[in-house]
Structure formats: C-alpha cells, structure tokens
Structure 1
C-alpha cells in the first residue's frame, strides 16, 4: 500500500546532556520560541584589600564602573539576541527542510531495509543548511545514512515525543550538547490519510530522525563573544577620557573651596569663591561666600571693639599716671609722719592703708600701660649679651629674695645669651613673686642649658595648679576662684611674662610637679 508521509507542526525542545538542558517546541509554521541561554555561574575574583582613595579616583572609578556595567549589559543582551537569532535561523531552516522532505517521501509499508536505506541517504544529501545524519526506525528495523544504525545523540525523550504523536502528530526537535559538541536533533513521523487528505492523519509507526552538528554556529557565537570581549577594554579606555573630564569639572570647585577655606584659616577673611551655574556645588560656593562675608563682618566688629577696649585702657592708664604720681608723693610724706609717731594710731593705720592701695593702683596702671604697648606692637626689645645666671641672681637680690629658706638658687654659670635685661628681670620677678604668694616655700629657681636654649625653671612646694586652671594661667585678669574678688597682684603679671618671653622668641609653660607644687619653665633660644 502506497502512503504519503505527512508531517505536522513541530513541537521543539532543546536538551543538554550534562549540567545544562533546554527544552522547547516549534509551532506548526516552523518557528519555535526563543530558546533561553543557559545560565552561567561565575566565581567572584578575590580583589585587593580596600584602600582609601581620593575623590578624583573614586569619581573616575564610579564612572568606569557605570560604563563597564553598561557595556556588560549591552553585550549580554546583544549576545543573547544574536545567539538566539543564529541558532533559530539554523534550526528553522533545518526543521522546515527535514519536514518537507519527509512529507514528500513515499514509502511502502512495511518498509524494506534497502528502500528505507536509499530514502535516508537521499534525505541526508539534501540536508540544509548542510548535510545531516539521518536515521529511520520502524519497529525493530533500524536504518541510517551512516555506518551506525542508531545515534547516541537522539535522546529517549525525543523518541517518546515522536512515538506518542498519534493524537497530535507533530515533529519534534532538541538541541543537545554531548562531549562539548552541540547538536540539533529532529524527529518527524511518517503519516498517512485513510481516505482523503482532509481526513485525520494516522501514524504509520515509521519515524525519521536527523542529526545536525551546530559546531559552526557555536564557533560564530564564540567569535562574537571574543570580539565583544576584545572591544570592551578599548571602550573602557575611551570612557576614561570623559571620566577624567567629568572628575575635573566636579573637583575644580572643590579645590577652590579647599583653597578658600585654607586662606580663611590663615586670616584672609576677604576670600571668596566664584559661583557659576545653579548646581549643588554652585549653591555650596554661594553659601560659603555668604558665611565668609558674615564671619568677616563679625570679626571686623570684634576687632573694632577690642581696639576700642585697648585704646580705652591705654588712655585711662595714661590719664591716671599723672595724678597717681602726685598721690604717691603725698603718701610718701604721710608714711613718714605715720612712722615718726606724729599721727595718732588710727590716722596712721588709715595712712598706711591709703599708701598701700595707692601703690597697688600704681602697679596696676604700669601693668596696663605695659600690656597696652604689647597690644599696639609698640614694645621694643633692647638686647645685650649677658650671663643668664647673673641676671637671675640680680633680680633676686634687688627684691631681697636671698633667704635660702624661702628661695633656693640652682644657677649654672657661664650661659651667655642675648637678652633684654629689663624685660627678663620682669619675667623672673613675676614668676618668683607668684610662686611666693600662691605656692609654698621653698621656691627653687634653676638656670641651665638644654640643646640650643637656656632654661629658667621656677618651682614651689605648694598645692599646685588645678588641671582646669592650667590652660588659663596666662590669661589676663583670670581668677581660679570666681568668688575671690581681690588679689595681691594686678592680674596681669603672668600675661606680661608671656608677652616678654614671646618677644625674646621663647616659650613659657606651666605644669604640676609629680612630687607636688607648680613648675613654670621658660625656654629662650641662645
């Protein structure tokens, strides 16, 4: 009986032996759905340990990262689309051609081996886009266009699809990877119509299989991947140029802001930044300019107020100096009368009190005038090469601080230094007098040489200085105890000491001795 083999629409499935397997069905028109590319697992490379980077480096890296992600995403999408297009074109061409040849094949049932052999050879030679390996199966009969009757590439799943096509006779296909080689396998059953072509097709039991190697398509895909990979590095290198330009544009106002802040820190409060555009950096520049202008006005007002206060103190001290001179002369006469006994005891006591307070007021006026000269930068230094130990010794002798029980002298002789004897005398006198008033006896005065400086050290055996007070001991009119409204000195002695030491190019420090008491250390370069 002559039958006409007919093929229905294909239901395709792609299968991979090994770790990957894909399945799909081709519609009757010969076009299957887009096969999904197999997922690929990537191992994360262990990168170098993170290190701090500058803002420019971070901006460039961020730009390159975005470019790399964009290139990678575009390459992945392009690869997927191109791979599907290449495989689908080959698949559709092969499946359509194979189905058409099986449909046009006339086979007698039951088929003879020689006839079936000639049929599969004919189909194999006419394979598109290149020759196939064709196999035919009918019951236990196995025929092929090769020297092997069956193929290990044809999977049991494909056979089951082909043999289970009684109800819906459709051809099937699979993409299979075996031993690293990709294959396209197709199965089309031979069908016949009982009476007319319009009648339902019946399965004859004869199934044709075709196997097509996809090595050329895979080679084209690999070449495309290699080209994309080779083009990625030049693309990133090209992206580096706009990255550097963008980083430069972003960092320019940042550099200007840093320079402006540095200038303001050095006292140039008139520093301003040129604000361009309307972005965030421009807003920051305008905010900086507004803050700088407000700070400049505040500092200028503070300086004017400070100048007025200094001028007031200087003017008052100068105005008080003349009447104080007359008051001191009168108090000296009254002191003589009180000492001679010409005044009664109450009057003598009042005279001595007035004399003491007038003397304290005179000291305060002199200290105010001295500190005013420092503020006005009018203090002058008249230096001479002297023996430092002799200067300290004369200061102690002039003030009658020679009692060993009160003042201990540890003076290394022969240290020659350029000093202003008058100002250095004030330094030593203020430190020793302060130690005698507020510390405990004995007060030790040491003079020695340390490297390229000579050191004057004054220490006492008192309770020391409270840690909260130490940072303020050289402040003007500073009082450790706010409740104490009156002191023996003017409150400017240590401040004047600090200014005199600075005028010599030296330093003065206050600290507490671990053994007890306060220690003041003056270092002046030789």
Structure 2
C-alpha cells in the first residue's frame, strides 16, 4: 500500500472517529432535551393534580381529569379496591387504556415507557395510599405520547449516520487528491530513478515543483547526488575505456615481438641440434661440451615454452579486450555437425594423458546455427583443453544432444572435479579453482572467454561436477534452422 493511500486512510479514520463522537454527542443532547420537555409537562400536570385533588377524591374517583390539562397529556386513575378506571377524555376518545402493573408487587413512583398497541407513551406512575394504614388504593398514570419525539430522534439518527458516511467519502476523495498533489515530488523522484535504472542515463534530473519545503529540499539533494554520481561515473568510464585501449594496444604490440621470438626459437631448435650433434660425433667433443650443449637446448626449450605461454596470454587478453569494447561477431547460418566433428578430430592431437572419446553426435544432423565458426571452434577447444588439463587419467568425451529448439554439446571428463562452492566463480577472469589440488598451468582467462563467446551466440552453459569424480559442461546453442527433409 502506497504512502498516499495510507495517509488518506489514517486521516479518514481520524475523521470518522471525530464524526462518531460528535454525532453521538448531538444525538444524546437532542434526545435529553426532547424528553426533558415531555417530563416537564408531566411534572406540571402532576403538581396541578396534587393541588386540585385530594386523597379522598382519588379514592372516590370523582376527580375531573380533563379540565386542567392540555390535550397532549393522557391521564388514567385505576382503583385497586373496585377495579374502576378513570381516564381523560383523549384516552376515552381513542378507546385506549394504560396497562396497570400487578398491585401485589411493589409499585415504584417514577417514569416508565408504556406501549399501547403501536403507540409509545412516556408515563409517570404515582401510587396513591390511604393515610390511615398506607394501603395502596389507586394508581395515577400521567403520560405523554412520544411518537413525534421518537420519529424526530429516528430521523436525526438516520441523518447523522448518512451525513457522516457522505462526509467521510468526500473527505477520503479530497484527501486522496491532496495527498497525491502533496506527494507529487516523490512520484517524480520514483520516475526519475526508474528512468535512470532502465536507461542508464545519469544526466536525467528530477523536476523541481512546488515550494521550498522538505520535499523540495529532498529533490535538490537528490539532484546534487545524481550530479556527483554522473561525474564519478564518467570519470570511471573514461578510465575504464583507457584501460581497455591500453590492454588492446599492448596486446597488439606484444603479439609481433612474441611471434618473432617464437619463430626464431623454433628455427634454432630445428637447425642447431642436428648440426651440433653431428659435429660432436665427428670431432669427439669432450663431456664439457656435451654439458653446455644440453644446457643450451634446455634454455631454448624454456624460452620457447615461455614465449608460447605469453603468446597465449596475449591472445586471451586481446579477446577479452574485444569483448569489453563491445566487439560484435559477424555470424552466419552454417551446419553445426561438421564444425563439431572438425574440433573432435583436431582434439586428438592435443597433449593429454586421458583417453579421448567421441560419442554420439547424430543429434546435430542437419542442425544449423547462426555462429562465427572460428570463435565457436575456440569455444569448444577451451572446454576440451580444460578437460584434458584437469584429467590426469581416465577419459574425456564429447557428444551431442538436442532439446526442442536448442542443440547441446557435452564435454565430460573423469578428472579431479570441483567443489560446488567454486562453480559460480569459474567464469570470472583470472579465477582458478583451488590451485592446490593440482599442478596445472593456466591464467584463468579461458572460461571467461568461453562465456563471452556463448553470450555472443545467445546460448548458455550448464555445469555438473563432483570433487574427485569429474566435471561435465553442456554448451547450449539456439538452432537457427533444422532441415528434416533428409531424415529417415
């Protein structure tokens, strides 16, 4: 529930409680005054009766109950000794009679409400006793018809209830509108922050509306904060672009000398040892020369190995620099099976200790994908080389599956596996899963490059691993076209 709605509900609830107390107060005040006037009329008539009549009159029932009283006053005298009833003329005309309580029970003097048929009367009961023995001989009942008062109070109650609901509804509507107007700057803040979140446009500012109140100062503060964030972000973005340019330029610059070094070392390895060994055999060179020659060959091998490793690192850095720079691959629709078979054939030539198995690839028959062939080969070689690297014994297998509109290439190994806590980090740059488990070389960039290639192809990768039992990578690629015309 929004703040606007909560505030409106709170104010409406407070207004409802106030109206309830106010309405009840009015109702009780009017009710008290209305019935007080009726009681005053009854008391006036009762005093007149006490003045003009006497106990003997009441006892003999020769009291004239009509002459002193107004037409709204209804009087009845009931004689308990003989059952005679004296009624005022208005009661006689209406042919009505007040109910009389049981004389065997104590009759208290005071006001009671009597109902004659459907008519209600506020009645004062005055028991009459003989002075000699205090014997109850009669009951004087003076009543006022309260129908108009009851109708008036009923109408007043209906008006108060209806008016309260109408006022609350109007107040709720107006309060909702006013709350919306008062909190409009908050809505502007929300819209601006959503725009910044969705469009990543830090140059957007929150419009300043209204007086210089708390919300206005909040808007100014947020705009100032956005300005500082934009400045910081632009500085970081420039620094990041400069870093990417440096990595890309450095990678390009390093490739040329490394290629030259590797070429010359490979040439020397091919030319020097045979000539040197033949000369030694002919001339009978001593053991010191043999030792120097051996050290020279080892140094050349070390230089060649390090140059190759640096060349691979530079190539990886160049690929990641392209990824950071937003490099877009030029992809074409092509058959997937020949590409995977080519990778499987060439993987047999990779240095390895594990057996290489090519499983069932028929799921890729007639499947075409939109891909960059060279990068897709690099992706598969990364997973295969990674499997060979961490599988000192056992086997590495490649096979294929298909699921609806996706083709899956599975690379499974029986190597050292990984801890499940390491899986979320294996695609991070320079991350290597628990290096203490094996003496495997690497930079930790291969899987990061593989993830970039997968993302560029709109695919995904699944990882299933268990420590000490091996790892299975499943690369899923969306199928661009599947020709079923040649299927049996």
Distance of 1:258 and 1:513 partners within structure 2: 46
Distance of 1:188 and 1:177 partners within structure 2: 14
Q: Does 1:135 pair with 2:77?
A: yes
- With normalisation by structure 1, the TM-score equals 0.72
**Offset of 1:60 from its aligned partner?**
4.9
Tell me what 1:357 maps to: 306
**Offset of 1:374 from its aligned partner?**
1.8
Q: Does 1:306 pair with 2:249?
A: no
**Offset of 1:380 from its aligned partner?**
4.6
**Offset of 1:68 from its aligned partner?**
3.4
Q: Does 1:467 pair with 2:399?
A: no
Distance of 1:484 and 1:369 partners within structure 2: 29
**Offset of 1:518 from its aligned partner?**
1.5
Tell me what 2:282 maps to: none
Aligned with 1:328 (options 251, 256, 262): 262
Tell me what 2:86 maps to: 144
1:157-209 deviation line (CA, Å, top 9, x unaligned): 99555xxxxxxxxxxx424355886543336799xxxxxxxxxxxxxx99855
Distance of 1:338 and 1:156 partners within structure 2: 145
Summarize the Cα distance change of 1:184–1:208 in structure 2 as closer, same or farther, 3 Å threshold.
Answer: same
Tell me what 1:69 maps to: 17
- With normalisation by structure 2, the TM-score equals 0.77
Q: Does 1:397 pair with 2:350?
A: no
Aligned with 1:273 (options 206, 217, 228): 206
**Offset of 1:478 from its aligned partner?**
1.1
Tell me what 1:434 maps to: 386
Q: Does 1:120 pair with 2:72?
A: no
**Offset of 1:429 from its aligned partner?**
0.9
Q: Does 1:411 pair with 2:361?
A: yes
Distance of 2:312 and 2:371 partners within structure 1: 24
**Offset of 1:364 from its aligned partner?**
1.0
Distance of 1:288 and 1:455 partners within structure 2: 49
Aligned with 1:457: secondary structure? strand
Tell me what 2:41 maps to: 93
Distance of 2:233 and 2:149 partners within structure 1: 79
Distance of 1:261 and 1:298 partners within structure 2: 17
Aligned with 1:410: secondary structure? coil
Aligned with 2:433: secondary structure? coil
Q: Where does 1:13-52 land on structure 2 (aligned, <5 Å)?
A: none
**Offset of 1:427 from its aligned partner?**
0.7
- Residues 394 and 414 in structure 2, CA contact (< 8 A), matched pair in contact too: yes
Q: Where does 1:211-360 land on structure 2 (aligned, <5 Å)?
A: 211-249=143-181, 252-266=184-198, 267-275=200-208, 276-277=210-211, 281-282=215-216, 285-286=219-220, 288-337=222-271, 339-340=273-274, 342=277, 344-360=293-309
- Residues 185 and 212 in structure 1, CA contact (< 8 A), matched pair in contact too: yes
Tell me what 1:505 maps to: 458
- Residues 260 and 272 in structure 1, CA contact (< 8 A), matched pair in contact too: yes
Unaligned segments of structure 2, at least 5 residues = 129-136, 278-291, 481-488
Q: Where does 1:77-226 land on structure 2 (aligned, <5 Å)?
A: 77-99=25-47, 101-102=48-49, 104-105=51-52, 107=54, 110-111=56-57, 116-123=61-68, 126-127=69-70, 130-135=72-77, 144-145=86-87, 152=100, 160=108, 173-176=110-113, 182-186=120-124, 209-226=141-158
Provide the aligned length of Structure 1 versus Structure 2.
443
Unaligned segments of structure 1, at least 5 residues = 1-52, 162-172, 191-204
Higher relative helix content:
2
Distance of 2:181 and 2:103 partners within structure 1: 62
Aligned with 1:500: secondary structure? helix
CA RMSD, 1 decimal: 3.9
Tell me what 2:325 maps to: 376
Distance of 1:105 and 1:450 partners within structure 2: 113
Aligned with 2:341: secondary structure? helix
Tell me what 2:289 maps to: none
- Residues 77 and 140 in structure 2, CA contact (< 8 A), matched pair in contact too: yes
Summarize the Cα distance change of 1:155–1:436 in structure 2 as closer, same or farther, 3 Å threshold.
Answer: farther
Tell me what 2:402 maps to: 449
1:22-63 deviation line (CA, Å, top 9, x unaligned): xxxxxxxxxxxxxxxxxxxxxxxxxxxxxxx56665555445
- Residues 394 and 415 in structure 2, CA contact (< 8 A), matched pair in contact too: yes
Aligned with 1:491 (options 439, 444, 452): 444
Distance of 2:112 and 2:219 partners within structure 1: 64
Distance of 1:253 and 1:286 partners within structure 2: 11
Distance of 2:190 and 2:371 partners within structure 1: 42
